[in-house]
Amino acid sequence: MIDKASCRIRRGGELSFFSKNNNETMQYTHEVEQMCCVKKGCNHGPAPIPQEGAWTAVTKTEEISGLTHGVGWCAPQQGACKLTLNVKNGVIQEALVETIGCSGMTHSAAMASEILPGKTIQEALNTDLVCDAINTAMRELFLQIVYGRTQSAYSEGGLPIGAGLEDLGKGLRSQTGTLYGTLAKGPRYLELAEGYITKLALDEEGEITGYQYVKMGPMMEDIKKGMDANEAVKKHTGSYGRFADAAKYIDPRHE
């Protein structure tokens, strides 16, 4: 209970309270000043949240840890961002920023990947991450983290720094899907989880029965190691579905 008598300072007819903890002066209205003091009874504290295999009653920033993902979007919704953060003791140790749909957002993501590591989650929430989609993703992650809804909530000890890269798989490329279709000409598969689509297989009725793809990440790794580009393309080309039995093959980008 506040010792009201020892903390009164008259200023303009209002009550001021001087906080010894933060050296701030608290202003009270006349109505509140006239109230009698009623002692506070219950004080249950914060509810514990699951964090890295433990239940923690968090009261301080440095008590928060976890790895999680979230998605954000800009006001015109022309692009989106998937953000992955690995937080240890309140500080962001790892950030993976993936974007889609907006060319400018890729450069914003480059800056965000430099900005985020080393900041507390409160600092990151109130830092301009250049793009609204990335800022929105940060907001969504903040809510997950402080409410104990991280992906590593029940993983004892959490996940090591570098776990964010596991989302990318071999070749360290984002999992993207690019599909296009029109009423007049039908669907075109351009990129799927397997890779860059080079050919679509069609049956006698003109329906898609499979596709040929190139695994871009592994292919580029081999090229960087000195493999001939044509050989690398051949090595990392595969197919899905009834590709070999097609009546016709088309290039989805030009036919």
pLDDT (tens digit, 9 = 90+) per residue, 66-97? 999 999 999 999 999 999 999 999 999 999 99
Residue that the structure tokens 């890779």 belong to: 195
| Measured distance CA(51)–CA(145) in Å, rounded | 9
- pLDDT of res. 26: 85
> Cα 5 from chain centroid?
50
CA distances from 33 to 5, 8, 36, 54, 178 (A): 11, 10, 8, 44, 64
Q: Cβ(119)–Cβ(27) under 8 Å?
A: no
Longest dimension (CA), the chain: 92
Q: Cβ(170)–Cβ(164) under 8 Å?
A: no
Length of the chain: 255
Structure tokens at 52: 């890295």
- pLDDT of res. 22: 59
Residue that the structure tokens 């009874």 belong to: 41
| Measured distance CA(135)–CA(71) in Å, rounded | 10
| Measured distance CA(119)–CA(40) in Å, rounded | 36
pLDDT > 90: percent of the chain: 78
Of the ranges 10-14, 48-52, 101-105, 151-155, which one carries the lowest mean pLDDT score? 10-14
